[in-house]
Structure 1
Amino acid sequence: MQTVLNTGAPLAAAPPLSNSQVRRAVLASVIGNGLEWFDFLIYGYFAKTIAHVFFPVGNNFLSITLTLATFAIGFVVRPLGGIAIGAWADRHGRHKTLSLLILLMAASTLLMGLTPGYASIGIAAPLLVLFARVLQDLSVGGEFATAAAMLTEYAPPGRKMFFGSFKMTSQAVALLLSSSCGYLLTTNLSGEALASWGWRVPFLLGALVGPVGFYIRHKVSESPEFVQLRQQLAHAPRQSLRTFLRERGDAALCAMGVMTATNYLWHSYMPLFVERQLHLPLKNALFGTAISGLISIVGYPLAGKLADRFGAYRLFFPITIVWICAAWPLFSWVLAAPTPERVFAAQMIATVVLSLMSGAHPGMLTQLFPTATRSMGVALSYNIAVTLFGGLAPLTVSTLIGVSGSRMVPAWYLMFAGVVSLLLVGLSASGRRLCREPNLWPKDGAHS
């Protein structure tokens, strides 16, 4: 890809990268995302226990709602963190930003695991939990975008979707590890031990990734495309949010559409749904989630390869339509006879579809923005979409079930999100253009 700037001069060719440089860049890019998802999923799995430890209000529904609200509040700050950190990464580089972010994420995960319960320190306990979630989501606000930019900017031509899929693969690894950890704890500990200390173990283990991740990221060189851009400009790239929205607003809407049909609700809320609505042991859902992680480790890179070959935006529409059509029968079938076997089968079917749908997401988002505004563009779009249809989803669905009494609310929600996703991508000029020209990447200095 030749990137052209406002000066009209083409960028000089980047020196060839060694295999070891590429491998280090991939590992550095995905390790933080794995920690993010590990923390995210563990909080969802143990939401019921966390509610009793930090929000003992005497009303089970209200206690769970407060726990999920704390979870959602963290997501509300994500767009703010994403804009600020994304803009900083576009000015100062991917490498420095990623090194800082993993330390912030590890600190918030450690705080979550060490905070005493309400019985010990009173109102300070839920306030500390809230602070931990806000700190986590401020850092995560820039993590996905900056790491996705690093991955695709290190990728060779024709393999950018495949390299971007490694970011999703790290989520699958986190899914496998978090659910396996949760399964072992819920299987081998009594309810009293789990509530007393067992639920803290995954958070404490997750925090250990921080120092290791910082060391790995600190050793990685800056993205080749960013280095080229800096050399050509002779100063840090800069663009105001107003200018960005004017020039890249259509691309941002398209990117939000890509992320709206997200897998956040399925993976984070499903264990709570199985436990509270189907009245099955939590370990049943966690076992299926662990197997889902194994399948996704293969499914995400496969989706990336298919996207490189056929065009990510050309595959987006049929796969999303399949997901919309599958949501209702999956939930209806499980609710008709809620058994562990049916829950497991539904999880496997959903995992295959979600893997094919989500594997190319990092590459699809980075393809919409030029190097100079890539981190901010992806961060803004990604975080608004996952806040509305990811972080707020468990609280929204749980509240709607409580108000309506219908256990089919998750199916309706997934179908609604899928339709919104199709509309945003299909109605945007950027989405239509990339369906026609799947290998088109924006040039620095050109309008979207």
Structure 2
Amino acid sequence: MTAAAIQSGQPRSPAMVRRAVISSVIGNGLEWYDFLVYGFFSTIIAQVFFPSSDPLVSALLTAATFAISFLVRPIGGVLLSTYADRFGRKPILTVMILIMGFSTVLIGLTPGYATIGVLAPILIILARILQGVSVGAEFASATAMLVEYAPPGRKMTYGSFQMCSQALALALSAFSGYALATLLTPEALQGWGWRIPFLLGALITPLGFYIRRFVDESPEYEREAGKGETRTPFRAVLAEHRNALLRCCGIMIPGTVSNYVWFIFLPGYVMRQLKLPFTSAMLSSLIGGVLLFVFVPLMGQLCDRWSAFRVWLIGMLSFALLSYPLLAYVVAEPSFERLLVAQAICALSIAAIWAPTPGLLAGMFPTDVRSTGMSIAYNVVVLLFGGLAPFTLTWLVAKSGSDMMPSYYILACTALSVLALWLAGRRPAQR
């Protein structure tokens, strides 16, 4: 395609559309692979970098380190997303994948506390901060790219590809944990085996960078660039799109909780609290990730044919209602079979939540502030209901002594989601 055609915002060739989809999926998949691997191996990471005579203190320190990257995500997300709205999606997406790759390698190569002392946790914290800065705008900018590349009538399907990458990352990270735990002794897994998934994840970086380097800017962004008045996207979102932000937060909460509680916190929870083996937790999450990878694009197509919000609403309500009886089913008689049944049943409901979320969020903002608006809502919700969830739930379970605390947390977050949507509907419309 000629430069003149690109600048005019003409439709891209099928090959370029495929490249844009692949580049978005790889980048977002790398982000989630790294976060999920860290969550799955949290018990080992706690022993390697945060040793303590009290297992609860060690687990809380690891959960706090998990949350640190989320504390800086809103800052990185707003800054980089503002740049993406003013100068294009492509430059930011290209830079972010390099930073993600570097931080992943840093985690994989950092010696343990026993070798270099306090410098070890400091380097892990630094790596998590870099990840937070880089991925703060990844979801928003990559989603904007996907939706803006989508043909008419297929925006929900294309947006669902973003969530397919998360499901694929879940399956791959769980598979790496299951394979390593099966092939290695516990001593080898804790000594060096846990580093392999991080180093393998970094190998994706050169491929992702190469693909993103040769992707054209989105046609919709090119068409709209320079048409409106020059303004700061962050200020414009807060001044003109506060209702959209509140609606985005309401839609984001169930998807965030389903991922961070049901697939990131739960594997470590069943090992610590219910004494299930590591392999059982990993194999169950692996199967759950595969089911999501299959269900999410199907739900995305359903959203384009029917109603995206209705699909999301049915998924949200069914997940909330199923979480308590399914967790009670696992707690009553902990086993791999029961854990698998719980995660498999919820996979369909979670797919119904995940699939329409990117398209719904992108549709709430005009092109010139889309990345910034989604980034603000996404990073605030992920910080409060995702990054802090493992720390909060670890503390709540320890203090309350209730094995059902994760389901109470899910129900409470669902109520907050409904409240946010209700408040957004009652507020006066903004231009």
The two structures have a TM-score, normalised by structure 2, of 0.95
- Residue 243 of structure 1, aligned match among 224, 232, 236: 236
Amino acid at match of 1:296: L
How many residue pairs get matched? 422
Q: Which residue of 2 aligns with 1:334?
A: 330
- Residue 29 of structure 2, aligned match among 10, 31, 34: 34
The CA distance in 2 between the partners of 1:127 and 1:308, in whole Å, is 46
Residue 419 of structure 1 deviates from its aligned partner by: 1.5
Q: Which residue of 1 aligns with 2:193?
A: 198
Q: Which residue of 2 aligns with 1:442?
A: none
Q: Is the 8 A contact 1:254 1:431 kept in 2?
A: no
Q: Which residue of 2 aligns with 1:355?
A: 351
Residue 15 of structure 1 deviates from its aligned partner by: 2.1
- Residue 423 of structure 1, aligned match among 419, 425, 430: 419
Unaligned 5+ residue runs, structure 1? 1-11, 434-446
Amino acid at match of 1:310: W
3-state SS in 1 of match to 2:324: helix
3-state SS in 2 of match to 1:428: helix
Residue 123 of structure 1 deviates from its aligned partner by: 0.6
Residue 238 of structure 1 deviates from its aligned partner by: 3.2
Q: Percent identity?
A: 48
Residue-by-residue CA offset, 1:19-78 (whole Å, 9 max, x unaligned): 111100101111111001110111111101000100112211100100000101111111
Q: Kindly tell me: are residues 259 and 424 of structure 1, through their superposed partners in 2, closer, same or farther at Cα, counting changes over 3 Å? A: same
Q: Kindly tell me: are residues 285 and 265 of structure 1, through their superposed partners in 2, closer, same or farther at Cα, counting changes over 3 Å? A: same
Q: Is the 8 A contact 1:252 1:381 kept in 2?
A: yes
Residue 425 of structure 1 deviates from its aligned partner by: 2.1
Q: Which residue of 1 aligns with 2:4?
A: none
RMSD of aligned residue pairs (Cα, Å): 1.7
- Of residues 343-352 and 312-321 in structure 1, the stretch that sits farther from structure 2 once superposed is 312-321
The CA distance in 1 between the partners of 2:120 and 2:46, in whole Å, is 11
Q: Is the 8 A contact 1:302 1:356 kept in 2?
A: no
- Residue 280 of structure 2, aligned match among 269, 284, 288: 284
Q: Which residue of 2 aligns with 1:254?
A: 247
Q: Which residue of 1 aligns with 2:162?
A: 167
Amino acid at match of 1:188: L
Q: Is the 8 A contact 1:99 1:214 kept in 2?
A: yes
Q: Which residue of 2 aligns with 1:406?
A: 402
- Residue 384 of structure 1, aligned match among 371, 374, 380: 380
Q: Is the 8 A contact 1:317 1:422 kept in 2?
A: no
Q: Is the 8 A contact 2:236 2:369 kept in 1?
A: no
Unaligned 5+ residue runs, structure 2? 1-6
Amino acid at match of 2:75: L
- Residue 23 of structure 1, aligned match among 18, 22, 28: 18
- Of residues 164-173 and 262-271 in structure 1, the stretch that sits farther from structure 2 once superposed is 262-271
Residue 138 of structure 1 deviates from its aligned partner by: 1.0
The two structures have a TM-score, normalised by structure 1, of 0.91
Residue 83 of structure 1 deviates from its aligned partner by: 0.6
Q: Kindly tell me: are residues 431 and 178 of structure 1, through their superposed partners in 2, closer, same or farther at Cα, counting changes over 3 Å? A: farther
Q: Is the 8 A contact 2:60 2:391 kept in 1?
A: yes
Residue 432 of structure 1 deviates from its aligned partner by: 12
